[in-house]
Structure 1
């Protein structure tokens, strides 16, 4: 049974898209819809298409507009992304912050390559701090003891130096305008800190890159670092100035897999990203299109593939600077073939089933999966995409995971990302001095014939790559446009360990044995069939995670973008199509 058959799929999808457009137009999905006094050469809405570049920046029309200004001035996607990230650290505070984390993928049109910037802070370098965590546990409910080194400022600086054309002062100008309105008590303090960076940039000699580096160094090595260290000591954080001074934003190669003629690019195993590649490798062995979009066979097959890939995520992933992750074996076609054979087409697995890639065996276990109520607080993430008219594309997933942490005297806010590590002896993601936590933040870039064609960013913790998979399959396998792919019903499994639970007993961190969260838009007969196959369904009416998507036509330069309007996502374009 199909949710959308060949004859009625497009009419139903068009009706849904038109209904959402009307809701946005009348303001029922938020106050930030397009206004009549905006320049005619741009459009900002939940969906937009244009030829002059595109930006999606969380839920903020103001930040999207500021980034479009940078593109209109001749800036690159990197310039627009840097402007967006600085702005989002204020407008999306709680989901992101100035002391947060930003994994980022960029396609460089000149070099014709995809690279990764790891804007992720590390654990403290002091071995005594690490000893404390092993003795007392990593706090999971909100604590500055769980704060990593702040990564955002270094990431933005590195992005501008390596791929940008504008100054830090230009990129931060819209953010300062927002802060100067003093809507929150910490806004003036952060404005002072950011203006110190501008002051350092103005006073430095040398190239544009040298000047941006001077601004960055004032934050990580100068008087701002002194102020941060004083705050760390006051609130009981283990971070010190030496941790700030040692911080870097590495430039890395992406993890890449081919799927139906496309190349999917993800950040490394210090994120959960590679498991999306593993899932696609499993699914390439199935004719999903013939199953029918949202048929019971389709949903069952995708969920079972996700379970297998996420079991490997939980078993093997960690910071590759500290642990040897067998990515070559995990992503090999032979391993995918072996693992594919574990999927029973008529029965949901209730076991945790990591593989044994080094021994060339499909199973390392299987292991018993626990079943419990997940009570660890999770504070979400935001989204950021940018594409320019020169062919450069950026995908980033900014976050901070605050969970109660408050801004310090410099106005900087840091989160709880160290709780994504654990204290399990021998585990690849156990906490060590200077180690990056294995995070859920996971942007996606897709190329075809060497050109960028898709960019995706999703907010939603462990749901992020599951929902990325939803929208990619809807587009690649079923031909849905971006504005359709981000609004059709979504689904995700809880059959995995929670990425925000540092419990040293990793079996106790398992969320939901056989659990599947599914939107009520999937017809009830299909849901009944999935239940009969053993899936433990939880049906919801709201959005499952928050996706945004750009699709680029490399021949025409047209960028089509969309973000789920039910959660207020915004996309802006220059030179919009009529």
Structure 2
């Protein structure tokens, strides 16, 4: 039985990791907008109400389908590394990894430009209508999430000692705000209002105003403020020292979001679409290829056999991610071979009854896998190459999905620009994405720290077309866990034995840590899996007998999946009860 009803209607459905975002998206549909208007407005609100998870200086991939086309598209809002980024420059500082915070990890903020392009080319409402809710919440306030308050408190000493501009925004008399209190970011409200004011100065044409807003961000006062800050400030970071970064206004001016074709595989009666290998999306597809020969419908999804099979497939797919995925504009990623049936058949032979404790990338098409130097990784996950403990503050993410009466479906995973990732840019009220921490200081790696490249990220929305008549869109926050939590959701969804989206979301979840972490300090936890406490003692014991290092977590602790679906005129949606904040709205 589901924790809450699957939302159903025929007008529109919005699912988001924050209730105010979902309500905002629905308000756009109610005033005559479409799914793209709703997605952009909902995303801008997320930038205000979840500043510990994303911001205007962050990044986003969007996957979508319009109602008047059979074609699925991807919009890449992942900003690139600064043109001056250099492995040699960072190594000369005595560093062996890109820090997870500060200036060296900064990349071009891609989220705002991506949302403006989506609104311009596929939306219908004005930029004022779409931006107004975010401005209102930033100016008038909203109830601060407990998690956001905890993140600010954990960052308080850093803000007071080093990041003074962040202290000015997030601390009150030197103290962190309390969870549940009314909180506002009036500096960000001023930034949004100025962007809107200058956009409206472009005249009465809707498209001209939206394009002007993007121009103001990437070539106007926003870019100027970012350039001024990063060119002059040496910023304290995870290395325990202060370092100056490479991001400039020219980097912002040269960048633009790109529309791309998705990557897809067939699984049973469904075609599953993901982003390219500049994100980890193809991991989801590789797992499906590995699992397609098993009759998973005959397995209990709460059994140790089911969990074992899914985890072992994830280990193999994630090992290939670590070895081969990167920006395909600069690297030849052997994606066709990675997603081929022949390759999956070969790799599947490695799945045994016992858990593997090896990191085993393959050789798709004969390609040689890359692995980082072993002295950068520690199996116990308690050390790093810099001798520091792992960052206690999670760098997490948001998600939203929308479907409307016009047949449009949108899925997006906004992230980056975390309040604890880099200092607030003076006068703007937001931080810049530190996504370059996912690059390596090795030119041979699939994602090296070189200029103008998209770091290989974990952001991974999904779109599925089933039987050519049902379309589903879903995703989750969770970093390296994103394509694990959504995979188990999807496998349950594909059964549809009297269940629904909400039941598939609610079912007990699990994931493995047996991969090179995408985030600083890049630890690896060999053989470890986490399972929710709702799994039986027999399942946990069965997994341990198979050789898994099992950690039992809270009963509702793993995942934050949101999902929508449309089948004919029926629109449905569900959202994760975990963390008590995601919501689905529809009618």
Asked if 1:428 is matched to 2:446, the reply is yes
Counterpart for residue 197 of structure 1: 195
- The DSSP-based 3-state class of the residue aligned with 1:125 is coil
Counterpart for residue 135 of structure 1: 92
User: Map of 1:277-292 to 2, 5 A cutoff?
Assistant: 277-292=285-300
- The DSSP-based 3-state class of the residue aligned with 1:94 is coil
- Give the Å deviation of 1:182: 5.5
**TM-score, normalized by length of structure 2?**
0.84
Counterpart for residue 29 of structure 1: none
Question: Could you tell me which of 236, 243, 257 is aligned with 2:251?
Answer: 243
**Contact 1:389/1:557, CA 8 A, preserved across alignment:** no
User: Map of 1:72-83 to 2, 5 A cutoff?
Assistant: 72-83=30-41
Counterpart for residue 473 of structure 2: 455
**TM-score, normalized by length of structure 1?**
0.86
Asked if 1:359 is matched to 2:357, the reply is no
CA deviations 1:130-179 (Å, max 9, x no partner) are 53224333443421321111112101111111211112211100011112
- The DSSP-based 3-state class of the residue aligned with 2:33 is coil
- Give the Å deviation of 1:546: 3.1
**Alpha-carbon distance in structure 2 between the residues aligned to 1:418 and 1:542:** 34
> 1:355–1:301: structure 2 CA closer, same or farther, 3 Å change rule?
same
Aligned residues: 522
**Alpha-carbon distance in structure 1 between the residues aligned to 2:108 and 2:87:** 14
**Alpha-carbon distance in structure 2 between the residues aligned to 1:120 and 1:454:** 23
Counterpart for residue 420 of structure 2: 403
Counterpart for residue 54 of structure 1: 13
User: Map of 1:209-224 to 2, 5 A cutoff?
Assistant: 209-224=207-222
CA deviations 1:386-430 (Å, max 9, x no partner) are 111111111111111443523222123213211011112300111
Counterpart for residue 140 of structure 2: 181
Counterpart for residue 103 of structure 2: 144
- Give the Å deviation of 1:499: 0.3
- The DSSP-based 3-state class of the residue aligned with 1:85 is helix
CA deviations 1:522-567 (Å, max 9, x no partner) are 1111211111111111111154443333342422323232323444
**Contact 1:442/1:465, CA 8 A, preserved across alignment:** yes
**Contact 2:199/2:212, CA 8 A, preserved across alignment:** yes
- The DSSP-based 3-state class of the residue aligned with 1:492 is strand
Structure 1 residue runs without a partner (length 5+):
1-13, 22-45, 503-508
Counterpart for residue 513 of structure 1: 526
CA deviations 1:359-383 (Å, max 9, x no partner) are 289x999x99952225432321111
Question: Could you tell me which of 374, 377, 390 is aligned with 1:376?
Answer: 390
> 1:550–1:210: structure 2 CA closer, same or farther, 3 Å change rule?
same
**Contact 2:513/2:525, CA 8 A, preserved across alignment:** yes
- The DSSP-based 3-state class of the residue aligned with 1:342 is coil
- The DSSP-based 3-state class of the residue aligned with 1:311 is helix
Asked if 1:161 is matched to 2:177, the reply is no
Counterpart for residue 518 of structure 2: 499
Question: Could you tell me which of 227, 230, 233 is aligned with 1:232?
Answer: 230
Cα RMSD (Å): 2.3
Q: Which moved more, 1:169-178 or 1:49-58?
A: 49-58
**Contact 1:553/1:559, CA 8 A, preserved across alignment:** yes
Structure 2 residue runs without a partner (length 5+):
143-168, 171-183, 235-244, 383-388
Counterpart for residue 9 of structure 1: none
